[in-house]
Amino acid sequence: MQVKAISKNTGVSPRKVRLYVDLVRGKGVAEALSILRFMPSPTAGLVAKTVKSAASSAENNYQMEPNELKIVQIYADGAPMMKRHRPRSRGRVSPILKRSSHLTVIVADQEG
């Protein structure tokens, strides 16, 4: 059985989140959390929080063993952007796009 956890509208761009998502894809939950624990970025904490949420949901709602859970799918998609403008010379403006992301983690039992 697969269990999903989603973090929506995070304040981090999808490109930056994908660096940490790629590190833990396909790993066991315990191994993924230990990898993310020693990463220097706050983004790694965001990914770890979502992985913990998926593991807790699997344990509490579906009585799965937390030691046997594996990250089956994990991905970061774009979310709505905040659009701002920066004044430039000669009365012009340049756009500033403050990107955010949706992070999805799907865990399941390890087969075999």
Give the tens place of pLDDT for each residue, 33-84.
Answer: 999 999 999 999 999 999 999 999 999 999 999 889 999 999 999 999 999 9
Pick the CATH number of 2-109 from 3.90.470.10, 3.90.25.10, 3.40.718.10, 3.30.70.20: 3.90.470.10
Reply yes or no on whether the pLDDT at 24 is more than 90. yes
Question: pLDDT tens digits, residue range 4-23?
Answer: 999 999 999 999 999 999 99
Residue 10 confidence (pLDDT): 95
Q: Which residues contact 90 (CB under 8 A, 6 or more apart)?
A: none
The tokens of 64 are what? 């799965």
Question: Please, are residues 110 and 68 in contact by the beta-carbon 8 Å criterion?
Answer: yes
Contact assessment for residue 23 and residue 48, using Cβ atoms and an 8 Å cutoff = no
Beta strands in the chain (DSSP E): 2-10, 69-78, 82-87, 93-98, 101-109
Beta bridge partners of 10: 101
pLDDT of 112 above 50: no
pTM: 0.91
Phi first, then psi: give them for residue 90, nearest 5 degrees. 60, 30
Domain boundaries, given as residue ranges, for the chain = 2-109
pLDDT at 110: 80
